[in-house]
């Protein structure tokens, strides 16, 4: 019987803390504003953006949406990024991903001022993280660390295995776990004997983007399992982990939904606050 790592509860705690700090800044005449660039009308993206704006409102962060049709020229987005970089009223901003076909996110993300990069995805933010300079942290990996810490799970000296090496999750999460003094192994699609390597983990993080790929044979008895996956199916949302099979072996496990997802949203608010302080 594993302990369930409740991301909704931990995210609510983060929002309360952020809200209190936003109020303090406001009383000193500093406002916090998070701008969002949304291109096209993909229903999932529209919903995510609406949720993020509601989160902002709840904690007293202003939010301005910059909406574009899917055929907007790349150049126009470049100009907007430069303008938001320079606008002192904007604490931070992000581009909702993925962009529609025909647009290239990377050169846009690369242009974002790292002090306003609330997604923490620009090469400058990634570089700062890698060399240990202060930086805005990518929301999902930071959410994973916060979910662990807020549940009293010790990381120092423990064996952490990250499944997945994306720039969005796997790579920055490995950096954050290193910073917490965990011993870190990163696995990926070419890893041999994945189950064997994963079974060494005291802390196992699944961020591979393959629905229910991780089962009991990947998990050591008593391990802490974090599921970053999110897959929409006919009968609801599931993760990268076969929960029913893994939960009995784990000492603690994060559910999908209600685990890492809510933490990702909360850490975006935290980053907006951090950006406003810069
Ligand atoms: N620039 C950018 N930054 C992002 O951080 C970003 C993005 N683009 N594009 C899309 C992905 C996806 N993502 C999620 C955030 C919260 C939940 C979340 O709250 N999930 C809930 C379930 C929500 C539901 O019911 O759909 C949960 O797991 O409990 C999920 C996914 C952020 N993303």
**How does pLDDT run across 196-222, given as a tens digit for each residue?**
999 999 999 999 999 999 999 999 999
Quote the CA–CA distance of 204 and 188 in Å, as a whole number. Answer: 13
**Same-domain check for residues 224 and 255:** yes
Which domain range does residue 91 map to? 29-117
Residue 7: inside a domain, yes or no? no
Cβ atoms 126, 172 nearer than 8 A: yes
Which position among 55, 115, 119, 227 bears the catalytic label? 119
**How does pLDDT run across 89-101, given as a tens digit for each residue?**
999 999 999 999 9
Mean pLDDT over residues 17-21, rounded? Answer: 98
Q: What is the pLDDT of residue 66?
A: 98
Q: What is the pLDDT of residue 278?
A: 86
Residue whose Cα lies nearest atom 18 of ligand 1: it is 261
Q: Is the CB of 223 under 6 A from ligand 1?
A: no
**Same-domain check for residues 102 and 176:** no
Q: What is the pLDDT of residue 136?
A: 98
Residue whose Cα lies nearest atom 21 of ligand 1: it is 261
Best residue among 48, 99, 266, 267 to mutate for probing ligand 1, ranked by most atoms within 8 Å of CB: 48
**Same-domain check for residues 152 and 183:** yes
Residue 126: inside a domain, yes or no? no
Mark whether 119 is an active-site residue.
yes
CB 22: neighbour CB atoms within 10 A?
22
- CA 153 – ligand 1 centroid, Å: 24
Q: Is the CB of 258 under 6 A from ligand 1?
A: yes
The string of DSSP codes covering the chain is -PEE--HHHHHHHHHHHHHHHHHHHHHTT---EEEEEEES--HHHHHHHHHHHHHHHHHT-EEEEEEE-TT--HHHHHHHHHHHHH-TT--EEEE-SSPPTT--HHHHHHHS-TTTBTT--SHHHHHHHHHT---PPPHHHHHHHHHHHHTT---TT-EEEEE---TTTHHHHHHHHHHTT-EEEEE-TT-TTHHHHHTT-SEEEE-S--TT-B-GGG--TT-EEEE---EEETTEEE-SB-HHHHTTT-SEE--SSSSHHHHHHHHHHHHHHHHHH-
- CA 28 – ligand 1 centroid, Å: 32
- CA 264 – ligand 1 centroid, Å: 7
Mark whether 210 is an active-site residue.
no
**Same-domain check for residues 37 and 103:** yes
Residue 19: inside a domain, yes or no? no
**Same-domain check for residues 172 and 229:** yes
Q: What is the pLDDT of residue 213?
A: 97
pTM above 0.90, yes or no: yes
How far is CA 196 from each of CA 193, 203, 256, 264, 269, rounded to the nearest angstrom?
A: 5, 14, 24, 29, 38
CB 81: neighbour CB atoms within 10 A?
21
**Same-domain check for residues 147 and 252:** yes
Residue 270: inside a domain, yes or no? no
- Report the number of distinct structural domains present in the chain: 2
Best residue among 11, 36, 97, 112 to mutate for probing ligand 1, ranked by most atoms within 8 Å of CB: 97
Mean pLDDT over residues 12-38, rounded? Answer: 98
**Same-domain check for residues 111 and 158:** no
CA 197 from centre of chain: 24
- CA 145 – ligand 1 centroid, Å: 17
Q: What is the pLDDT of residue 86?
A: 98
Residue 144: inside a domain, yes or no? yes
Q: How is the beta sheet containing 62-68 ordered, strand by strand?
A: 62-68, 33-39, 92-95
Mean pLDDT over residues 117-145, rounded? Answer: 98
Cβ atoms 122, 114 nearer than 8 A: yes
Q: Is the CB of 135 under 6 A from ligand 1?
A: no
CATH number of domain containing 66: 3.40.50.10860
Q: If you average pLDDT over every residue of the chain, what do you get?
A: 98
CATH number of domain containing 243: 3.40.50.720
| Whether residue 1 has pLDDT greater than 90 | no
Quote the CA–CA distance of 142 and 152 in Å, as a whole number. Answer: 15
Mark whether 24 is an active-site residue.
no
Residue whose Cα lies nearest atom 17 of ligand 1: it is 261
Among residues 49, 82, 117, which one ends one of the domains? Answer: 117
| Whether residue 84 has pLDDT greater than 90 | yes
Q: What is the pLDDT of residue 177?
A: 98
Residue 145: inside a domain, yes or no? yes
**How does pLDDT run across 229-256, given as a tens digit for each residue?**
999 999 899 999 999 999 999 999 999 9
Residue 44: inside a domain, yes or no? yes
Residue 17: inside a domain, yes or no? no
- ipTM exceeds 0.90, yes or no: yes
């Amino acid at each position: 019987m594993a302990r369930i790592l409740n991301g909704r509860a931990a995210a609510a705690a983060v929002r309360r803390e952020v809200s209190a700090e936003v109020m303090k800044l406001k009383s000193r005449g500093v406002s916090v504003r998070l701008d969002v660039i949304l291109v096209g009308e993909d229903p999932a993206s529209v919903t995510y953006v609406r949720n993020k704006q509601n989160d902002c409102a709840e904690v007293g962060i202003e939010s301005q949406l910059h909406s574009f049709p899917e055929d907007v020229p790349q150049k126009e987005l470049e100009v907007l990024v430069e303008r938001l970089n320079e606008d002192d009223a904007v604490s931070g901003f992000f581009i909702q991903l993925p962009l529609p076909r025909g647009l290239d996110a990377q050169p846009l993300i690369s242009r974002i001022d790292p002090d306003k990069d609330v997604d923490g995805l620009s090469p400058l933010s990634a570089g700062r993280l890698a060399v240990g300079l202060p930086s805005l942290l990518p929301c999902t990996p930071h959410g994973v660390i916060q979910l662990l810490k807020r549940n009293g799970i010790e990381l120092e000296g423990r064996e952490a295995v990250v499944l997945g090496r994306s720039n969005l999750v796997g790579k920055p999460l490995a950096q954050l776990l290193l910073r917490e003094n965990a011993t870190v192994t990163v696995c990926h699609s070419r890893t041999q004997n994945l189950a064997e390597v994963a079974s060494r983990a005291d802390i196992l993080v699944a961020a591979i983007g393959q629905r229910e790929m991780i089962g009991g044979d990947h998990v050591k008895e008593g391990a802490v399992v974090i599921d970053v996956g999110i897959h929409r199916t006919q009968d609801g949302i599931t993760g990268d982990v076969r929960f029913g099979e893994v939960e009995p072996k784990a000492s603690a496990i994060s559910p999908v939904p209600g685990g890492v997802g809510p933490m990702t949203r909360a850490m975006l608010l935290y980053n907006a606050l951090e950006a406003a302080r810069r």
